[in-house]
Amino acid sequence: MNTDTSAAMPTHTTRRHFLQVGAGVSLAICCPRSGWAEGFRSASERPVLGFIGTGIRYQTLAREFAPFGNAAVLCDVDSEQLSAGAAHHASVSEGRQTDKPALVDDYRQVIDRDDIDAVVIATPDHWHTKIAIEAMHAGKDIYCEKPLTLTIDEGRQINRTVRETGRVFQVGAHQRSGRQFQLAAAMLRDGRVGAVQRVTCAIGGSPSCDPLPTVSPPSGLNWDRWLGPAPWADYCESPILPSSGYGSQYPYGRGHVHFRWWYEYGGGKITDWGAHHVDSAMWALGDAVDLSLPYQATPLRVTHPAPLVDGYPTTNDRFNVATSFHARVQFASGVELDVVDTSEEVGVSNAIMFRGNAGRYLVNRGKLVGKPVEQLAERPLAADRLESLYAGLSGSDESDNKLSTVGKHVQNFAACLKTRAKPISDPESNQRHLDICHVINVALRLGRAVTFDPQSQQFVGDEQANGFVARESRAGYAIES
């Protein structure tokens, strides 16, 4: 594999450089727009937003949404986190809105407001579906962080509600708005590796921790409401901060940031980074894989921090998702998808490798490399290869370069609020891809191969595996539709 950085396409590239790399190909953004990178033309055109969840992910979303809408209300079940969120909002929105957003601790105080046009959901994963469905029924459009759901059945519920209500819904799988991922998808669909054989998604392993002591929740945290639909569990937290890693400013425990390392609230790296890379990989594969047909997921290697019995953790005082893993998904077409913590073939711990009978190339947020990429200079892609990714809707302009990839994703959502077009990361296609991650997690938890039928939304002849398709909400937190 050629890893010469001279062949790499940087994440923040100028439009001129990108067009040189892509040999004249311009990238499409799903919805047409005019001047959206600088915000709406008047305050009355700016949508009114409600933010639910003001933790670590909110820090990015507040900044990227600031050019496109006014935040009328911020919501969090942790008063300290909510105050910090308000201060951050003030810093990123200076000059764009003068009114301070209201601060509330119950999401229903957001979705019940008549002045809210769209809700931005940045809660832990186990709350996404309940809030999104109830907000759609309250007439709100939705931007929801990834992974969209905690279970397979939740995706079915969300997509049914989107169809019933006609709301605009953008999933925060923002790699679809990243230039190098768009080009990588167009290249694969153009046959630049020949017949696709295997796609490898290297996503890194999940952390483990020492046993966590049970302690009282922080005074400002409504722990019962934070748990919400999830089973009751005592709050636990390490007395010291992690030495490194994402969210290391928070102590290990149940709760903020580290919720993703518990099966009760997330799916570990499989749904955390898998929701990005598996989505990008399947988006690129397009018609090469028919996701209406059954597929099989096999755990080739897996390690959990503590033993599981029938797929459920036997301890409650430490993270319980798979820390290391290698799973292979076999599709009816013969294409294989490997999801692995690290891969010698990929050579880095976070990237996607596309391999076919005529070549291979690698993409991640920092680079797009490989011989097929180098060949673009001599054999450029036809423009319609990129246009086809967005059903012919385009609108790329120089203003794109002022935005980060998340900013472009938010821009796309803001444009679609006005046009009512389908955003680039719609919940139906996203959930088909996220279901693969959920299926992999079931295989890892059971330690054996499972076969999933997307049509029936069930595992084939596997009562035990089907026990993971849905979950029962805790009393008082059922979805109200």
Strands 336-340 and 196-202: parallel
Examine the pLDDT at 300 and tell me if it is beyond 50: yes
Q: How far apart are CA 278 and CA 367, in angstroms?
A: 17
Examine the pLDDT at 216 and tell me if it is beyond 80: yes
Instruction: Read off the pLDDT of residues 62-102 as tens digits, 9 standing for 90 and up.
Output: 999 999 999 999 999 999 999 999 999 999 998 888 789 99
Q: 102 vs 17, which has greater pLDDT?
A: 102
What is the mean predicted confidence (pLDDT) over 192-209?
A: 97
Tell me what pLDDT residue 95 has. 81
Q: If pLDDT is split at 50, 70 and 90, which confidence band does 22 have?
A: very low
Indicate the pTM of the whole model.
0.91
Tell me what pLDDT residue 332 has. 98
Tokens encoding 257: 């940031």
Q: How far apart are CA 435 and CA 455, in angstroms?
A: 12
Percent with pLDDT over 90 in the chain: 81
Instruction: Read off the pLDDT of residues 142-189 as tens digits, 9 standing for 90 and up.
Output: 999 999 999 999 999 999 999 999 999 999 999 999 999 999 999 999
Tell me what pLDDT residue 44 has. 57
Q: If pLDDT is split at 50, 70 and 90, which confidence band does 349 have?
A: confident
Lowest mean pLDDT among 44-53, 59-68, 112-121, 381-390: 381-390
Q: If pLDDT is split at 50, 70 and 90, which confidence band does 35 have?
A: very low
Tell me what pLDDT residue 346 has. 85
Tell me what pLDDT residue 9 has. 37
Q: If pLDDT is split at 50, 70 and 90, which confidence band does 39 have?
A: very low
Q: If pLDDT is split at 50, 70 and 90, which confidence band does 384 have?
A: confident
Tell me what pLDDT residue 82 has. 98
Examine the pLDDT at 2 and tell me if it is beyond 60: no
Tell me what pLDDT residue 80 has. 97
Instruction: Read off the pLDDT of residues 461-475 as tens digits, 9 standing for 90 and up.
Output: 999 999 999 999 999
Examine the pLDDT at 295 and tell me if it is beyond 50: yes
Instruction: Read off the pLDDT of residues 227-241 as tens digits, 9 standing for 90 and up.
Output: 999 999 999 999 999
Instruction: Read off the pLDDT of residues 326-344 as tens digits, 9 standing for 90 and up.
Output: 999 999 999 999 999 999 8
Q: If pLDDT is split at 50, 70 and 90, which confidence band does 386 have?
A: confident
Q: If pLDDT is split at 50, 70 and 90, which confidence band does 383 have?
A: confident
Tell me what pLDDT residue 391 has. 57
What is the mean predicted confidence (pLDDT) over 245-272?
A: 95
Instruction: Read off the pLDDT of residues 415-449 as tens digits, 9 standing for 90 and up.
Output: 999 999 999 999 999 999 999 999 999 999 999 99
Tell me what pLDDT residue 17 has. 36
Q: CB within 8 A of 34, min separation 6: which ones? A: none
- The 10 Å Cβ neighbour count of residue 360 is 21
What is the average pLDDT score of the chain? 89
Question: Cis (ω within 30 of 0) for the bond into 147?
Answer: yes
Percent with pLDDT over 70 in the chain: 88
Sign of the C-alpha dihedral computed for residues 441, 180, 143 and 233 taken in this order:
positive
Tell me what pLDDT residue 400 has. 57
Tell me what pLDDT residue 401 has. 64
